[in-house]
């Protein structure tokens, strides 16, 4: 065990409270930069992951032979700890935001693929039959029938992926780009400065909640029929 | 490019890096002990609550809420906050932080396992005169074993992966090899960083593989076919927990 661990907890110190408005005021710029970095890393990663994962889910739905390998390979990635992944990517790609984003995309894939596939599989066979009978081609059916009906699953996948990505961004601190993770870790390393650790934690949780609500809102906008059905 | 991998190979080839007091072997042992303690605490908390909720059929919402909250909570935050509370520095703070992330899969599977017991089986047991407690311990729990095993495996794999992050607070485990390498700077520590990453990945895959075998062994033969997660993973109503967060 390291000599640094095993100390007694620092006694409650009035200069080191769990929360301080004063700290937030004085470090507005530092926290805003962290927020921007956190948002940018999250949004980029989830969008790229969605752009890869939704087509993969469609492919897995159409070619059922591929669904096993697609789910399994994105599942294996899940077993690999984020820190280990960054340990492999960091020395190869350098200490850049891109390194963090690549790792985050890999982790976001599974949630989106899996839930989109659930959504696509829930499209009733009758509906597909009827669409085919009405003369829908393969692409038109995908765009106008299957994807809209699979939207609840896709939205669920995006929500899970986004919320976990927000939490995972913090690990990017190891390559220097961790958004609020930088705030938390530097707070810890700087004399266990509690107001800073708490500010970073609350920032993460708040951001996760905000993104979640935004995606729920987008889902409601995209699926007006779901609202109408509930009202009826 | 190849330079870093060569360095990693050289680092792994040095016997001292394996046998030092903070070498791979000692760190692996530490890593596994921390993880085992965290999973054990998780089981002690989650299994009684999960089976009870499943038995009474209430609290499905609670389980989803717990899963959502832990998904949003960064591991790094709990790892830094816990040592500064009454828990104090050292292994207990790290073990408790990891145990929290073990709870959702254990809870969800314990709940589902009891909930998914065929209602006819439950009726038959009641008809045979079993009491409420006997129904739980002699019918529902044995039938829930495949789910409990599956949840244990998910939680254990996840905790072993997450325990790597303890290194952020100098808390031990194999992650220390990675963070120390980063601390040296990538020019001289890059090889160590990659070596540490590879060791961690091998450990996680090994734990996953061994637990998959163990899960199969503890699942009674007649129940094996409807083992949760086998092929039906995509249909699970409860979202998969996030490993390695």
A173 vs B: CB within 8 A: yes
Q: Quick one: pLDDT at residue A132?
A: 92
Structure-token pair, residue B122: 């439950």
Q: Quick one: pLDDT at residue A10?
A: 53
Does residue A218 have a pLDDT over 70? yes
How far apart CA B206 and CA A52 sit, in angstroms, is: 29
CB pairs under 8 A between A and B: 200
Q: Helix, strand, or coil here: A3?
A: coil
A128 vs B: CB within 8 A: no
- Flag residues of chain B having pLDDT under 50: 227-245
Residues of B in contact with A114 (CB under 8 A): 233-234, 240
pLDDT digit string (tens) for A3-27?
A: 444 344 455 677 888 998 999 999 9
- CB of B31 within 8 A of CB of B174? yes
Q: Quick one: pLDDT at residue A76?
A: 79
Look up tokens 């985050």; give the residue: A104
Structure-token pair, residue B210: 């061994």
Percent of chain A with pLDDT over 90: 76
Q: Which candidate, A2, A164, A157, places its Cα nearest to that of A82?
A: A164
Q: Which architecture characterizes domain B2-231 according to CATH?
A: Orthogonal Bundle (1.10)
Domains contained in chain A, CATH given = 21-231 (1.10.3720.10)
DSSP-assigned letter for residue B83? G
What are the distances in angstroms from CA B103 to CA B66, B87, B93, B100, B180?
Answer: 8, 19, 16, 5, 30
Average pLDDT, chain A: 90
pLDDT digit string (tens) for A109-145?
A: 999 999 999 999 999 999 999 999 999 998 999 999 9
Q: Do A174 and B88 touch (CB under 8 A)?
A: no
Does residue A181 have a pLDDT over 90? yes
Tell me the average pLDDT across A209-225: 93
Restricting to A residues 45-74, those with a Cβ less than 8 Å away from any Cβ of B are 67, 71
Structure-token pair, residue A163: 């919320």
- CB of B111 within 8 A of CB of B49? no
How far apart CA B169 and CA A230 sit, in angstroms, is: 48
Q: Quick one: pLDDT at residue A78?
A: 78
Does residue A2 have a pLDDT over 80? no
pLDDT digit string (tens) for B179-205?
A: 999 999 888 899 999 999 999 999 999
Restricting to A residues 185-214, those with a Cβ less than 8 Å away from any Cβ of B are 185, 187-188, 192, 194, 197-198, 200-201, 204-205, 208-209, 212
Q: Quick one: pLDDT at residue A232?
A: 53
Q: What is the 3-state secondary structure (H, E, C) of B85-127?
A: CCCCCCHHHHHHHHHHHHHHHHHHHHHHHHHCCCHHHHHHHHH
Tell me the average pLDDT across A203-230: 90
Q: Quick one: pLDDT at residue A40?
A: 97
């Amino acid at each position: 065990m390291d000599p640094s661990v095993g100390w007694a907890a620092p006694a409650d110190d009035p200069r080191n409270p769990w929360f301080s408005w004063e700290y937030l005021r004085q470090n507005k710029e530092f926290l805003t930069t962290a927020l921007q970095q956190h948002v940018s890393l999250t949004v980029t990663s989830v969008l790229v992951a969605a752009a890869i994962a939704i087509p993969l889910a469609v492919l897995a739905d159409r070619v059922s032979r591929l669904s096993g390998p697609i789910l399994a390979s994105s599942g294996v990635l899940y077993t690999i700890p984020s820190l280990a992944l960054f340990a492999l990517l960091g020395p190869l790609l350098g200490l850049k935001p891109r390194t963090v984003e690549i790792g985050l995309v890999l982790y976001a894939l599974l949630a989106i693929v899996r839930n989109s596939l659930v959504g696509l599989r829930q499209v009733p066979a009758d509906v597909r039959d009827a669409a085919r009978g009405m003369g829908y081609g393969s692409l038109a059916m995908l765009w106008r029938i299957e994807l809209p009906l699979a939207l609840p699953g896709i939205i669920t996948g995006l929500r899970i992926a986004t919320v976990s990505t927000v939490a995972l961004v913090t690990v990017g601190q190891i390559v220097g780009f961790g958004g609020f993770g930088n705030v938390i870790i530097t707070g810890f390393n700087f004399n266990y400065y509690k107001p800073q650790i708490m500010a970073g934690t609350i920032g993460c949780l708040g951001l996760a909640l905000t993104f979640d609500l935004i995606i729920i809102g987008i889902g409601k906008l995209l699926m007006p029929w779901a609202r109408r059905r509930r009202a009826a | 490019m190849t330079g870093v991998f060569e360095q990693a190979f050289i680092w792994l080839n040095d016997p001292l890096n394996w046998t030092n007091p903070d070498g791979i072997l000692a760190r692996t042992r530490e890593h596994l002990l921390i993880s085992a303690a965290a999973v054990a605490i998780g089981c002690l908390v989650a299994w009684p609550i999960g089976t009870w909720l499943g038995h009474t059929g209430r609290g499905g919402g609670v389980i989803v809420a717990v899963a959502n909250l832990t998904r949003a909570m960064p591991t790094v935050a709990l790892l830094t906050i816990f040592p500064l509370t009454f828990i104090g520095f050292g292994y207990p703070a790290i073990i408790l932080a990891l145990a929290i992330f073990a709870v959702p899969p254990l809870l969800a599977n314990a709940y589902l396992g009891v909930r998914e017991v065929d209602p006819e089986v439950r009726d038959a047991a009641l008809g045979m005169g079993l009491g409420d407690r006997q129904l739980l311990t002699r019918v529902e729990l044995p039938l829930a074993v495949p789910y409990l095993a599956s949840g244990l495996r998910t939680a254990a794999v996840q905790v072993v992966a997450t325990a790597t992050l303890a290194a952020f607070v100098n808390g031990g485990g194999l992650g220390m090899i990675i963070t120390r390498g980063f601390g040296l700077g990538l020019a001289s520590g890059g090889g160590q960083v990659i070596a540490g990453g590879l060791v961690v990945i091998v450990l996680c895959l090994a734990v996953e593989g061994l637990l998959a075998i163990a899960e199969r062994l503890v699942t009674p033969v007649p129940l094996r076919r409807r083992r949760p997660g086998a092929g039906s993973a995509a249909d699970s109503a409860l979202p998969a927990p996030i490993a390695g967060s």
